[in-house]
Structure 1
Amino acid sequence: MKQYIIKRLLLIFLTMLGLVTITFMVARVAPGDPARAAAGEDATQEMVETLREEFGLNEPLYVQYGQYMKGLFTGDLGKSIRTQHLVSKDLGRYFPATLELTVFSLIMAIIFAIPLGVICAVKKDSLIDHLARVMSVSGLAVPMFWLGLMLQLVFALNLDLFPTGGRLGMLTEPPPAVTHFYLIDSLLAGQWDTFKDALSHIILPAVVLSFPALASIIRVNRADMLEVLKRDYITSARAHGISRARIVGQYALKNAMIPTTTMIGLRFGWMLGGTILVETVFDWPGLGQYAVQSAVYSDFQPIMGATLAIGISFMVTNLIIDLLYGFLDPRVRYE
């Protein structure tokens, strides 16, 4: 197990090195002048050149790459031309909001998707099975930005059940920062009003973000449950008079969870990258909005920092998912 984890960590390092290199090259060859955008339209050429020199943009490409990699290994992700803040500090401000939304959305999807997948497999071709399959197709076909706008129109503007956007109300102070997740921090501080406010703000964007994941997990779990329920040991368990609930919950579901767990890990990465649209629609102050605004100004360092944060999170999650395989199936061996 230790050797496997070490190998995977080395693989993560090499993968991140490749990701950083590709992102660096793409960012540098993309059209746009970050120094000009940051200085403004009325800036003189001398002001633009000063900014370009300050941020090392006048150096050859290989020198810029070497300086960036040197800073990366020392924990320095550079400085944003747009905000004039260290990228590491900006990530510490925006990334927790994105991570909280993604984790909450994924948990919501898992809570609903796995029971629905099991029910659809046990009651194949029933009304609930047909409805769940329609939901699965819709979840992959409906654009997230359209679904977000419709939920805002119905539940926020017409019914006034949820706020239209933001992470907290304008009059609500953020809870003391412990985990930087407002839901958890407000509970730890005993601030119930803040918790209710944060929960009401996260519901709609979480529903939108979780809808494609819900559809995918239902489809995978249903398909694998149907396959497992046809196996000989399930038939033998039925012949021995074991209850249906025990067969489904203890024997079938555990064996069907490996492909489902893989889909959950993949969906986590896709959801992290897909928060851009959701954060834009719901004005969620997360990494997606930060990256989009940086891209408008051709601000390279924040874009690379955001890519790095999402990439590391995705790869670490995949490692955790792979380690869970041994718990779900003792036959799995790590080499």
Structure 2
Amino acid sequence: LAVKRDTWLDHATRALAVIGWSLPSFWLGIVLLAFFYGGLGIFAPGRLSPWAQALVRTGEFKVYTGLYTIDAILNLNGAVLLDALSHLVLPVITLTIINVAVIMRIMRSSMLEQLNKTYVTAARARGLDEKTVIDKHVTKNAIIPVITLSGLLIAGMLSGMVITETIFEFKGVGYFAAHAATQLDIPAVLGFALMAGILFAVANLVVDILYAYIDPRIRLG
């Protein structure tokens, strides 16, 4: 949208990005839960609905991984799959909306910076159409800061998982870490910290590889 700078669409997107960036994840989660589940009766908290939990406990539904979406596919059970996915909607929105807002702001600023570079003027002077200039030249250079930020955001989502999973009673890694901390379960807390460190290292490795793919000037060695 940086290409359409100062249009109503640009202003609306910037406003939404600022609002999304400003929302605390715990507040957003509570509001979403109150509106959709409390008001509309959809997207219930937890990992599965009571009927699906009962099905899992009966043994008719085989648990292979503990991830109910994958297990539902392996069991060829579409009803449980849809139920598990519906329970993921609000936690995923809560975790991603703030990160998406940050990425939108950084991408817009980076695009505006690249559009003012001399290589863009040179590309246009050579007769390249605007779509080619934007897609093949400007975007590839503008996305580098976004990739850097995305790696940090992905690793940082672990801290958001603790709050989000607690709010939605979604018994995942974050819920486990929060429960372990309240019970002073030191080995479990250290295990969570180790996993977070590994994820952070992997995210940075992926970022470095993407750098070399997007920018030919960067070489891994």
- Report the TM-score when normalising by structure 2: 0.88
Distance in 2, matches of 1:268 and 1:200, equals 22
Distance in 1, matches of 2:76 and 2:124, equals 49
Report the equivalent of 1:199.
Answer: 85
CA-CA distance at 1:328 after TM superposition: 0.4
Report the equivalent of 1:169.
Answer: 49
More relative contact order in 1 or in 2 (CA 8 Å, sep 6+)?
A: 1
Larger radius of gyration: 1
CA-CA distance at 1:191 after TM superposition: 2.7
CA-CA distance at 1:177 after TM superposition: 2.6
Residues 1-335 of structure 1 aligned to structure 2 (within 5 Å): 119=1, 121-163=2-44, 165-172=45-52, 173=56, 176-177=63-64, 181-335=67-221
Distance in 1, matches of 2:84 and 2:131, equals 37
Distance in 2, matches of 1:330 and 1:227, equals 20
CA-CA distance at 1:185 after TM superposition: 4.3
Change (3 A) 1:188 1:262: farther
Provide structure 2 residue ranges, at least 5 long, that are not aligned to the other structure.
none
CA-CA distance at 1:232 after TM superposition: 2.0
Change (3 A) 1:203 1:296: same
The Cα offsets for residues 161-203 of structure 1, whole Å up to 9 and x where unpaired, read as 322x11122222366535x543344345533222211211111
Distance in 2, matches of 1:189 and 1:237, equals 54
CA-CA distance at 1:144 after TM superposition: 1.1
The Cα offsets for residues 16-54 of structure 1, whole Å up to 9 and x where unpaired, read as xxxxxxxxxxxxxxxxxxxxxxxxxxxxxxxxxxxxxxx
Distance in 2, matches of 1:242 and 1:189, equals 53
Q: How many residues matched? A: 214
Q: Secondary structure at the match of 1:125?
A: coil
The Cα offsets for residues 71-92 of structure 1, whole Å up to 9 and x where unpaired, read as xxxxxxxxxxxxxxxxxxxxxx
CA-CA distance at 1:244 after TM superposition: 2.1
Provide structure 1 residue ranges, at least 5 long, that are not aligned to the other structure.
1-118
Distance in 1, matches of 2:62 and 2:32, equals 27
CA-CA distance at 1:273 after TM superposition: 1.8
Percent pairwise identity: 38
CA-CA distance at 1:240 after TM superposition: 3.2
CA-CA distance at 1:293 after TM superposition: 1.6
Whether contact under 8 Å (1:209, 1:275) holds in the other structure is yes
CA-CA distance at 1:271 after TM superposition: 0.5
CA-CA distance at 1:213 after TM superposition: 0.5
Q: Secondary structure at the match of 1:242?
A: coil
- Report the TM-score when normalising by structure 1: 0.60
Q: Secondary structure at the match of 1:171?
A: helix
